[in-house]
Amino acid sequence: EADIYQTPRYLVIGTGKKITLECSQTMGHDKMYWYQQDPGMELHLIHYSYGVNSTEKGDLSSESTVSRIRTEHFPLTLESARPSHTSQYLCASSLAGLRAQETQYFGPGTRLLVL
């Protein structure tokens, strides 16, 4: 069973607020990812990291930022939330990189609603 955690699970917040979505994994995986999913749409990669102090943007442009100071922790931050940021955000981790056959393990997601 995957040990990857996300908090909060649900968040309703007003426009202009700064928010941080937390993601932690206890599997010792080097690779971590953030995906965004709008209702009825595909999961899209917005950020990924191959290790401590390594972060890259994914294929979907996002105003969010990420950091990777510790292997197990990969938080995502929105400096000023807007209604267009309303979405579901999923965190994942894996042993190998994006090109490999290795399975990605997902957290339960955070549903964000910006009013």
> Is the distance from CB of 60 to CB of 46 less than 8 angstroms?
yes
Which of 58/75 has CB closer to other proteins? 58
101 touches other proteins by CB under 8 A: yes
How many residues are given for the chain? 115
Amino acid at residue number 34: W
Q: Which stretch binds other proteins (CB under 8 A): 13-21, 61-69, 78-86, 107-115?
A: 107-115
Select from 20, 21, 48, 46 the least CA-distant residue to 35: 46
Cβ-based burial of 57 (10 A; exposed 0-12, middle 13-18, buried ≥19): middle
Q: Mask 60-89, x = binds other proteins (CB under 8 A)? A: ------------------------------
Which of 11/98 has CB closer to other proteins? 98
Q: How far apart are CA 25 and CA 58, in angstroms?
A: 20
**Among positions 14, 42, 61, 70, the unique one binding other proteins when judged by CB under 8 A:** 42
> Which residues contact other proteins (rule: CB under 8 A)?
2, 4, 33, 40-45, 48, 58-59, 90, 98-109
